[in-house]
Structure 1
Amino acid sequence: MTTTSPSTTTHEKRTVTLVFAALMLVMLLASLSQTVLSTALPTIVGSLDGADHIAWVMTAYLLGMTVTMPIYGRLGDRVGRKPMLLIAITLFTIGSLVGALAQDMTVLIAGRAVQGLGGGGLMVLSQAAIADVVPARDRGKYMGILGAVFGLSSVAGPLLGGWFTEGPGWRWTFWINVPLGIIAAVAVVALLHKPTTERARTRVDFLGMALLALATSSLILAATWGGHQYDWNSPQIIGLIVTTIVGAIAFVAVERRAEEPVMPLALFRDRNFNLTTVGVIILGVAMFGSLSYLPTYLQMSVGVDATHAGLMMIPMMGGMLVTSIVVGQAVSRTGKYRWYPIAGALVTGLGLFLLSTIEIGDSRWQIEGSLLVLGIGIGLGMQILTLIVQNSFSHRIVGTATAANNYFRQVGGTLGAAAVGSIFTSRLTESLATRLPSAGEAHSGSSSLTPDSVAHLPQEIHDIVVTAYNGALMPIFLWLAPLTLVSALVLWFVHEKPLRHTIEASKQEESLGEQTLDATEAMTGAER
């Protein structure tokens, strides 16, 4: 038995702190990119005359992020987090440059897609790398802080977006990522030195990756276009649905035989993984579906500018930040975690219900109170679900498991954002066409509407437009609320396993080959 000197322990703690600081910066990059455009979005689509494609600005990023998450997770386990993080940061920064220079919606959406290709790695690898340096029992407080970073960015992003929109211009919502990306890359190079798990021979599951991308992309396109650009029974949508099903079946068949599967099927033999997967999909639909369009609603219907729309989101950030940190500390101290995601799902549902009751003319404190409740709910369980998954598998595949969990959350989030965006746009366009049949091209459609143009409309038309925005969006929150109840019910059956006090796999696990490991994981998962 070996002992550890106080100086060694102090050095290790300092190393963990520095590595965690770098990972927080990476997480900040990923989370800011999902929120900074929210307050700037109405001005952007008005400037580029593309409100009909408003859903794609969010969906393109989420789609790129979702498709790449399992790939980053698996390759991170094989060749190391550091090189994969640098690739992700590079892609993210390039996408930001494309978005900053865009002169039309097509280029802007392309830039967001490239951002997403990098963002998938930023989100997954920052969480997986914590497992390299912190055991599961102590990991809760670190995961809680990462959740707080996400909560902080949920308000800092809209505030920055509002400030940029009213100051130097909306393009700075993209330019800001360039220096941040450079700083993040330098921090990763300088601080992240954890040894990799690279083997002498690493086979890349290219076919599995391609099929996963095909199935995921087809699913998201069907959700985005269905009922909006094409009828649900149109050949285009039916073709996408068929492609999704065929691609998913082919993906499963390939993964069963792949030597190094991008998403090992052994994961699905673990009870907690399956339950948290269902839970995060449902919560992803509710959370991303609601958060994507709230700042737009505040500008259009409440009549505040972009900066004040961001300020009105502060209560939600406060709720997320406080509960994420408190819950993380509590989990690390007690080792108990089962009830937090259940409570989080229920409180999130309450927040969505409160938002659905808001009408034109309601006080701002009522809106902010509803956002506070929503933030508390999200903060209670968001990061703990990732911890549950990481604690269910050996360190050898913790990145793969983390990526799979994030992938399914993003699938839910992408579907939620796409569905809410499609329904919102369709309802808004239909409402404006019905209520303003004789208003002329300038006001009968939604493509050229910006917060500033709405504020300067004649009073009668202004009232019709803001009422249409409220009527198009707020009922959707009520439709999302029951999903959180289903998530709480599913998470009720999660088994609370003891959190491990060590990082490295046992000597027995280290001596096993990959195929033996997967078989062992499958058998132990089946017993669970």
Structure 2
Amino acid sequence: MSESVIPSQEAAPRLSSLFHRDYLFGTLMLGGGIMLHAVETYITATLMPSIVRDIGGLELFAWATTIYVAASVLGSTFVAVRPESVTLNRCYVFGAVLFGIGSLVCTIAPTMEIVLAGRAIQGLGAGFLVALGYAFIRYVYPEPLWSTASTLYAAVWGIATFLGPTIGGIFAAGSAWREAFALLVPLSVIMAFVAPRLLPSGDGERVTTKTPFVQIVLLVTAVLLLSFASSVAAPALRGVLAGAAVLGVIAAITIERHAQARLLPVGTISVGSPLARVYLIMLMLLVTICSDVYIPYFLQVLHGVTPLVSGYLVALLALGWTAAAFLTASLSGRRANRVILIGAVLETLATAALVFTLARHNPGSDLLFLALSTVFTFLMGFGIGMGWAHLVTHVMRLAPAGETDKASAAITTMQALGAAFGAALAGIIVNSTGLLQPGGIDGAVTAARWLYALLALPAAFAILLAIGLPHARSGGAD
């Protein structure tokens, strides 16, 4: 790698450095893998109404997301516990092939059950690709560019938020949902073919362990139980399922603490572990941000906004994440820790503020409340975006020797679990506080108030975790 493009400690790393000839192909491959996953996520969300109209399966609608997320946890975990002979670029090939096979299954699916099978295979491949986006950073770039690379990959999600619904809308308008999945097949094949030629092998130091099968099963089961809990009508059953999910998480943590086959790096399951605090901050911020899943619904029902406009308004959350990531990318040391803390505070306050702006009946579409709701939605994303890349950099620097692959893959696991638990908790809250019973406008207002009040709490907990976070001493002034 050329040293001429490595920024000095006094100079802020520039995004353009990632596209220098020494790093260009790695940047395109890693960013492309995350982009493929991110865009497809939004395409599928847009296509699902067309799919159920065509082949039925409305009762399985939510499972298209749940099973995808659960499978991605398995894929990201394999990256960390893969056999010693399997290099990272081989994992990339496996991930791209699996993603392509899953897309092909969805393309030809005659029933919703087959679509879900395809989504499971897609999710498995996506878990590989996203985990590798982070795991490869230390092989493709010098350390001063780690935070900048993390910023770029975070920004991919912001771009995908606009591309996904647009592409999905084009195919949905013509009921061409099969063609949308088919388009992903050749892209996956190309990426699988060129990965060994454009990416380093990535077979550096790591500790080889057995697969943490029990912990994985418990966590995936907890996700599925919470998803069931968010969809059942009986409050008692909802409570039982949610309680069982909590017990599953506790059991997974207890086993992880003493297991030889570990899901997380050694020492992570410890109250005093800085790495554990970083992972918890990530998880809490993501749980809060997933309250956005109901923003389009409340905009349409309470504020009279059209579906298309509501979709693009909620996309401002991802835009805020992207904007903040770029604005704070050059910070390091104590300043990086400050923006993590400030970002958590901002996300907490913005989420809580939606209780007063979004959670109200506004049949006349009063621009004041719409504008304020839009601003706070943007600020929710801005808050998490301020610190995300620096949290990723913390993980790579705090990872124990030989366990950097496992630490990097765990970032994707936290993302998947945060998204799954956040969406499921949001469903439980709104369904338990009036959205279904009594329903209507009054039920939606009450549910929205409870949702944003309660889901501001995980981000508030992240504030406490971020206080006193150890700062990196390499690169950049404090």
Same fold per superposition (TM over 0.5): yes
The alpha-carbon distance between structure 1 residues 8 and 245, as it changes in their structure 2 partners (threshold 3 A), is closer
The answer on 1:134 being equivalent to 2:141 is yes
- Tell me which of 279, 283, 290 is aligned to 2:285: 283
2:464 to 458, 469, 489: 489
Is 2:230–2:427's contact at 8 Å kept on the other side of the alignment?
A: no
Counterpart of 1:349?
348
User: SS where residue 119 of structure 2 aligns?
Assistant: helix
Note if contact 1:67-1:216 (Cα within 8 Å) is conserved in structure 2: no
- Sort the Cα spacing of 1:43 and 1:474 in 2 relative to 1 into closer, same or farther, 3 A: farther
Structure 1 residues 301 and 318: CA distance shift in structure 2, 3 A: same
Between 349-358 and 119-128, report the one with greater CA deviation.
Answer: 349-358
Deviations 1:293-322 (A, max 9, x none): 434555565555554343324433332222
Comparing 116-125 with 186-195, which one deviates more in the overlay?
Answer: 186-195
Alignment partner, residue 14 of structure 2: none
1:224 aligns to 2:231 (yes or no): no
Q: Aligned pair 1:71/2:78, yes or no?
A: yes
Q: For the residues of structure 2 that align with 1:6 and 1:429, how far apart are their CA atoms?
A: 58
Partner of 1:271: 273
Question: Is the Cα contact below 8 Å between 1:35 and 1:158 reproduced in 2?
Answer: yes
Match of 1:455 in 2: none
For 1:498, the equivalent position in structure 2 comes to: 473
Deviation, structure 1 residue 203: 5.8
Residues 72, 84 of structure 1: 8 Å contact kept: yes
Residue 162 (structure 1) aligned with residue 166 (structure 2): no
Determine helix, strand or coil for the equivalent of 1:38.
helix
C-alpha offsets along residues 202-248 of structure 1, whole Å, 9 cap, x if unaligned?
Answer: 96614x2x212211122112222236437348887776666655555
Q: Distance in 2 between matches of 1:376 and 1:7?
A: 29
Preserved CA contact (<8 Å) 2:265 2:403: no
User: Cα 1:378–1:48, aligned 2, differ >3 Å: closer, same or farther?
Assistant: farther
CA shift in 2, pair 1:6/1:427, >3 Å? closer
Q: Distance in 2 between matches of 1:367 and 1:8?
A: 41
Give the TM-score of the pair, scaled to structure 2. Answer: 0.82
Question: Could you tell me the TM-score, scaled by structure 1's length?
Answer: 0.75
In structure 1, the partner of 2:12 is none
State the alpha-carbon separation in 2 of the partners of residues 386 and 205 from structure 1.
Answer: 25
In the TM superposition, residue 423 of structure 1 has moved relative to its aligned partner by 3.9
Amino acid at match of 1:323: A
Cα pair distance change 1:249/1:95, threshold 3 Å: same
Q: CA deviation at 1:491?
A: 1.1
Q: Letter of the aligned partner of 1:224 in structure 2? A: S
**Counterpart amino acid of 2:451?**
I
Task: Measure how far apart 1:367 and its partner are.
Answer: 3.5
Separation (CA, whole Å) in 2 of partners of 1:304 and 1:96: 33
Name the aligned partner's letter for residue 426 of structure 2: V
Letter in 1 for 2:217: L
* TM superposition shift of 1:176: 3.9
Inter-partner Cα distance in structure 2 for 1:63 and 1:370: 30
Question: Given that residues 55 and 422 in structure 1 are in contact (C-alpha distance below 8 angstroms), is that contact kept between their aligned partners in structure 2?
Answer: no
Gaps of 5+ in 1: 436-463, 502-528
Aligned to 1:146: 153
CA distance in 1, matches of 2:284, 2:33: 26
Equivalent residues in 2 for 1:273-422, closer than 5 Å: 273-287=275-289, 289-298=290-299, 307-331=308-332, 336-356=335-355, 357-358=357-358, 359=360, 360=362, 361-363=365-367, 364-393=370-399, 396-422=402-428
Q: Take 1:345 and 1:403, find their aligned partners in 2: how far apart are those partners?
A: 23
172 and 319 in structure 1: CA distance in 2 versus 1, 3 angstrom threshold: farther
Deviations 1:64-104 (A, max 9, x none): 11233222133388632100011111112222223333444
Structure 2 alignment gaps of length 5 or more? 8-16
Closer, same or farther: CA 430–395 of 1 in aligned 2, 3 Å: same
Q: Deviations over 1:109-162 (max 9, x none)?
A: 332222211111111111110111223322111211111111211232233333
Q: Which of residues 202, 205, 214 is equivalent to 2:210?
A: 205
Is 1:191 the counterpart of 2:198? The answer is: yes
Cα RMSD between the aligned structures? Answer: 3.6
* Contact 1:135–1:500 under 8 Å retained in 2: no
Distance 1:25 1:6, change over 3 A: closer
| SS state at 2:374 partner | helix
Equivalent residues of 1:77, 1:198 under 8 A apart: no
- Inter-CA distance 47–34: structure 2 relative to 1 (3 Å threshold): same
Q: For 1:330, what is the secondary structure of its paired residue?
A: coil
Q: CA 1:45–1:486 in 2, change beyond 3 Å: closer, same or farther?
A: farther
Shift of 1:8: 13
How far did 1:106 drift? 2.8
The share of aligned pairs that are identical, in percent, is 22
Give the C-alpha shift of residue 411 in structure 1: 1.9
| Distance (Å, rounded) in 1 between the aligned partners of 2:223 and 2:18 | 47
Contact 2:430 2:447 in 1 (8 A): yes
* Distance across 2 between alignment mates of 1:325 and 1:61: 29
Conserved in 1, the CA contact under 8 Å of 2:76 and 2:409? yes
Taking the TM superposition and a 5 Å limit, the aligned residue runs for 1:461-472 are 464=440, 472=447
Amino acid in structure 2 at the alignment position of 1:416 = G
Cα offset for 1:23? Answer: 0.8
Using the alignment, how far apart are the partners of 1:87 and 1:487 within structure 2? 35
| 2:336 counterpart SS class | coil
**SS of residue paired to 1:312:** helix
Aligned length: 457
Alignment CA distance shift 1:405-1:310 (3 Å) = same
Structure 1 residue 174, shift from structure 2 partner: 3.1
1:67 alignment partner, SS class: helix
Shift of 1:424: 3.8
